[in-house]
Structure 1
Amino acid sequence: MKKGSIKDSPRLEDVAQRAGVSISTASKALHDNPRVSLKTRQLVQRVAQELSYAPNALAQSLVTGLSGTVGLITSDMSGRFCTQIMMGAENVLGSRSMSVLLTNARADPTLEAMHVRKLLSLKVDGLILMGRETDPRPSLSNDIPVPVTYAYAPSEDPNDASVTCDNVGAGRMAVEHLISCGRSRIAIIGGDPSFTAATDRTQGSLEALEEAGLEPVGPIRYGTWHGSWGRGATRLLLDQKLDFDAIICQNDQIARGCIDVLKERGLRIPEDVAVIGHDNWTDVVDVARPSLTDIDNCAVDIGRRAAEMLLDAINGKPHHGIELLDCKLIQRESTVPLG
């Protein structure tokens, strides 16, 4: 047999023998399993590198009982956050040499259930379910034999592990930023009130205004997530002769419509009115003039954290409840400070 053939390739047994550990411990160490001490993990990984050991997926599965695959089910493949969440999850899972099997349920519970059954038949080690909105969703059956993590749309069951963005904190962040820019007469254009994102963002904004001794200018009106609503709501603010120097728009389409009307009426942004959006959607942000200050949901971080939580559960350390990740404010031209 020639050198470099399968027969001469280093095996997991060779790594374990050289490191002085059992085959099971060597396998867990190569998967960075926290149940194995850091010192042992580093030793095994160093030995594997010295031997140029390449793990055999089938052999590892027989030793660990794990397939090295994770099922990822999205409800909206074309959604603006879906790709970012997937990237975050794959970055973490790929660094652990785990493969991702992706399916699209298209927000159809029947289709989702079919995908779950199919993925379980393929012996995945766990599932990540990605929602299209931050509204809570029904939990999968408690009979699911592998760990499940919910990303973006949290599970209604507090015993499940979920991760999403902090929309209340985002609403607060918008007000605090505008105040820091010297604004004190702040109006709010809400999105669709049937979505928790809209009501949560309003809650955070109202809390921050109250703490600053301020009230929103005019009534907080809700409508849709579309630019047409941003235009209509802004016209109402102007036609009612309300005195405002800043507007919080609960998503970027609303902000774009708002900016269009302000410019039509001869108002300068940000000199006369500062405008802030939410979602940091490049399709809107890239064409906005002036460039739009925005709040980013940090969807990549949500995917990363969902994968980390799933790996913890696979390794016997499950998470419970909803973990909220901070959003991030991105300063651009539409809210340049006064003075």
Structure 2
Amino acid sequence: MKRAAVRMADVAALAGVSAGTASKALNNTGQLSQETRDRVRRAAAQLGFTPDARGRALSSGRTFTVALLTTDSSGRFSIPIMRGVEDVLSAGELATVLCDTRDDPLREQTYLRSLVARGVDGIVVTGRRTEPRRPINVSLPVVYALAPSTDPEDASVVVDDTAGAASTVTHLLSLGRTRIAHITGPSHHRSAVQRAEAVVASAGDALCGEPVYGEWSEQWGRQATDLVLRQRPDAISCGSDQIARGVCERLRELGHSVPGDIAVTGYDNWPVMALASRPPLTTVDLRLEELGRRAATLLLEAIDGRAHHGVLELPAQLITRESTLGT
């Protein structure tokens, strides 16, 4: 025999409130005490009540859907950010829609027209680069994550790359390293330049030659190792984990011990690279999931009429492993 669907009235009766109050508690609206909201939610959970999403949308004027608009086709940055966004939104029973623009302005505009037409409650904009980007032109709450908006009035959440890179140098200096070289990515990438400038400023007299710019690849790490070894470094700071893994491989081929002869640091804490490296890399974690959580929190506040303006900078975290500490 098919079990009858649990109604809002059933939840209200068990919680000892009116149906209207039960609806407000479950939809997180109205001026209710936290005790009342909790009591209604416990009753709903006990009965196995599932809200009618269509009715919820009609009564609130919202779709309870948020879009994550990204240029990061590989998902290297957008997937961790989305996990953080969903951590926050799922608590309010909001759905997240991922839209990959593939760095195509026309595709982005098509997505935006579709998202506005569907009535999404807000948009988180992210990508694979940290360069400030032009704002999107929509009449919806928007928060930018990883790459800030060029409009200072927009809400943006970014990572403090300067402090992150400086922390690797502080770590190396604390281990007694006195000749630190730096290998990084393209000189036209903001993240590469910021990290290199932070290494130069933090290393001072311990800097071994000028930063070497190239590519975000293991191959470049291997090639650049031959260049910086002419300066006889006892530590190599790298602008990414991919570069650092290539550096470690090349040093091992040349008979150098890591970290015995030369300590190596990476950047990003990308498990595919950092943990697969031999030895595992000391690196900087961008804390992308936390960045996603903060962006989602700001978006919910904006949807609620409490918009944030300006850039919120989150700290990165140094993760120490065998490439500097040994075994």
TM-score, normalising length from structure 1?
Answer: 0.87
Q: Deviations over 1:209-246 (max 9, x none)?
A: 34xxx34111122122122322232212223xx23211
Matched, 1:230 2:229: no
Give the secondary-structure state (helix, strand or coil) at the position aligned to 1:292.
coil
Match of residue 169, structure 1, among 134, 151, 163 = 163
Give the equivalent residue in structure 1 for 2:8.
11
Give the equivalent residue in structure 1 for 2:288.
299
Matched, 1:140 2:136: yes
Give the equivalent residue in structure 2 for 1:202.
196
Give the equivalent residue in structure 2 for 1:327.
316
1:39 to partner: Cα distance? 3.7
Distance change in 2, residues 1:55/1:278 (3 Å) = same
1:34 to partner: Cα distance? 9.7
Match of residue 272, structure 1, among 246, 250, 261 = 261
Q: Is the 8 A contact 2:141 2:303 kept in 1?
A: yes
Give the secondary-structure state (helix, strand or coil) at the position aligned to 2:99.
strand
Give the secondary-structure state (helix, strand or coil) at the position aligned to 1:198.
helix
Paired with 1:217 and 1:123, the residues of 2 have a C-alpha distance of: 55
Q: Letter of the 2:184 partner, please give it.
A: G
Give the equivalent residue in structure 2 for 1:315.
304
Match of residue 154, structure 2, among 150, 160, 169 = 160
Q: Is the 8 A contact 2:133 2:148 kept in 1?
A: yes
Q: Letter of the 2:166 partner, please give it.
A: R
Any residues of structure 2 matched to 1:91-102 within 5 Å, and which? 91-102=87-98
Give the equivalent residue in structure 2 for 1:86.
82
Paired with 2:227 and 2:60, the residues of 1 have a C-alpha distance of: 63
Paired with 1:294 and 1:101, the residues of 2 have a C-alpha distance of: 31
Give the equivalent residue in structure 1 for 2:232.
243
Q: Letter of the 1:324 partner, please give it.
A: E
Paired with 2:18 and 2:200, the residues of 1 have a C-alpha distance of: 59
Q: Letter of the 2:236 partner, please give it.
A: I
Paired with 1:195 and 1:33, the residues of 2 have a C-alpha distance of: 45
Match of residue 53, structure 1, among 24, 49, 54 = 49
Deviates more, 1:246-255 or 1:9-18: 9-18
Paired with 1:337 and 1:100, the residues of 2 have a C-alpha distance of: 42
Between the aligned residues of both structures, percent identity stands at 41
Give the secondary-structure state (helix, strand or coil) at the position aligned to 1:318.
coil
Paired with 2:162 and 2:75, the residues of 1 have a C-alpha distance of: 22
1:337 to partner: Cα distance? 6.6
Give the equivalent residue in structure 2 for 1:181.
175
How many residue pairs get aligned? The number is 327
Match of residue 220, structure 1, among 205, 208, 211 = 211
1:145 to partner: Cα distance? 2.4
Unaligned runs of 5+ in 2: none
Give the secondary-structure state (helix, strand or coil) at the position aligned to 1:253.
helix
Q: Is the 8 A contact 2:266 2:274 kept in 1?
A: no
Give the equivalent residue in structure 1 for 2:274.
285
